[in-house]
Structure 1
């Protein structure tokens, strides 16, 4: 299903319990049980693996992220903030590594959906605006770093797989404002494309569903969902992602 054919996410809502908190870390990229092509065909559209592994021509992953302690002093377009400033109630997805901290504002992820970053190793930050799902993982396939792009495809996993992914804290429902976990909608979901193998990956499942990497899953990185105000108070010396053009994209 091409992204531009979808006007609004439609599907079963999967409840996510709890508020701001941390995700578990998983040490390796491993195979899930079951056959990936069979899983792909069990979702919608069932023909997802017949699609060409192409990059979306209108949604550009952030490939060269830049950071600051705030957006003050940086020219920011109206697309991201009307007054050029971050709102205290904006939701951020935060990562901590060896005493350092980085925040990724959801209003930026809303437009770009993927950030390829280096922070304690290669890391991948993703957000699907249709499903309201956020996921952070190690940016590695078969043990080697890779980069991900937005494929332009949408794929709805079988509901039981999404429920299991939520139950295992592999993916979290993320609101644009308020810093709260929200319900994930099991609907047309972001499909990522990795540059190394050309495989399709389900964002909700953190798992490759088509291509040479089929069946592999990404290792989840511990993250925190909070408001910008909360995060900045807890991490006054931390960094926050700057939107393009300060950060470079794959365009």
Structure 2
């Protein structure tokens, strides 16, 4: 389902469905939400997500990220000039192997997926509708994958989305509030270039295609302000917005 056609009334019928999808973990009889369920795609909204025609790269993912010490002196696109990169801007921060990168939500909200390398191939994602951020490895079965945006939205069953936030798979944030909670709504659906499988961002799981049921390997991340992140990581690089960073849309590339 395309974003413009996604209706607010998506919860109709899902409350009862979600209860049927709760799985069992372990042998103690306790019932906990789990995303390991074949055919989960049809129990979300829309249930036809695997048949929906995707609009690849209508929202161009970043696949050639560029970083600077800050945005000072950078030739920023008009969309980023009014506020620039002030200390109160919200960022998603990642620190690995002694290096650190900050990803401003102002950029992530417009591109949603960043294919980066920091210690190992890294996938940085943000769904502005759900206010959900996720960082994971881009390695699938030992191969490095490039991820893009399908242009589709899919709302997982409520129990699964709640479990994903509770166990730290995704973090909540908005462009103005690093403490915002994840919103219960239609969520970013990504695809991987090797197979075209579709991935639910909030579940970190493939819901359609050859990789259905596989999960991404989550990497630790921090939601904070640019000022606080830079104070704790003085040598950090910060993501520069396209066209300073390259995207899967050739029209936005430089050179």
Q: Under a length normalisation based on structure 1, what TM-score does the superposition of the two structures give?
A: 0.86
Which residue of structure 2 lines up, in the alignment, with residue 4 of structure 1?
4
Return the alpha-carbon distance in structure 2 between the equivalents of residues 99 and 205 of structure 1: 28
CA displacement 1:147-196 (0-9 Å, x = unmatched): 00000110000000001111110001112124x23121121100001101
Q: Counterpart of 1:50 in 2: which secondary structure?
A: coil
CA positional deviation for 1:8? 7.0
Which residue of structure 2 lines up, in the alignment, with residue 61 of structure 1?
61
Which residue of structure 1 lines up, in the alignment, with residue 19 of structure 2?
none
Q: Counterpart of 2:217 in 1: which secondary structure?
A: coil
Q: Is the 8 A contact 2:10 2:45 kept in 1?
A: no
Which residue of structure 1 lines up, in the alignment, with residue 103 of structure 2?
104
CA positional deviation for 1:53? 5.0
Matches within 5 A, 1:200-211: 200-211=198-209
Matches within 5 A, 1:69-88: 69-82=69-82, 85-88=84-87
Q: Is the 8 A contact 1:8 1:130 kept in 2?
A: no
Return the structure number with greater relative CO, CA threshold 8 A, min gap 6: 1
Return the alpha-carbon distance in structure 2 between the equivalents of residues 245 and 98 of structure 1: 28
CA displacement 1:197-238 (0-9 Å, x = unmatched): 110000000000000000001000011111001011111111
Q: Counterpart of 1:237 in 2: which secondary structure?
A: coil
Which residue of structure 1 lines up, in the alignment, with residue 18 of structure 2?
none
Q: Counterpart of 1:49 in 2: which secondary structure?
A: coil
Return the alpha-carbon distance in structure 1 between the equivalents of residues 140 and 9 of structure 2: 29
Return the alpha-carbon distance in structure 2 between the equivalents of residues 82 and 126 of structure 1: 24
Which residue of structure 1 lines up, in the alignment, with residue 157 of structure 2?
158
Return the alpha-carbon distance in structure 2 between the equivalents of residues 9 and 241 of structure 1: 36
CA positional deviation for 1:56? 3.7
Which residue of structure 1 lines up, in the alignment, with residue 227 of structure 2?
229
Which residue of structure 2 lines up, in the alignment, with residue 27 of structure 1?
none
Q: Over aligned residues, Cα RMSD in angstroms?
A: 1.9
Higher-Rg member (1/2): 2
Return the alpha-carbon distance in structure 2 between the equivalents of residues 226 and 185 of structure 1: 18
* Structure 1: runs of 5+ lacking an equivalent: 13-30
Which residue of structure 2 lines up, in the alignment, with residue 34 of structure 1?
37
CA displacement 1:82-140 (0-9 Å, x = unmatched): 15x30211111111112211100000001000000011111000000100000000012
Which residue of structure 1 lines up, in the alignment, with residue 46 of structure 2?
45
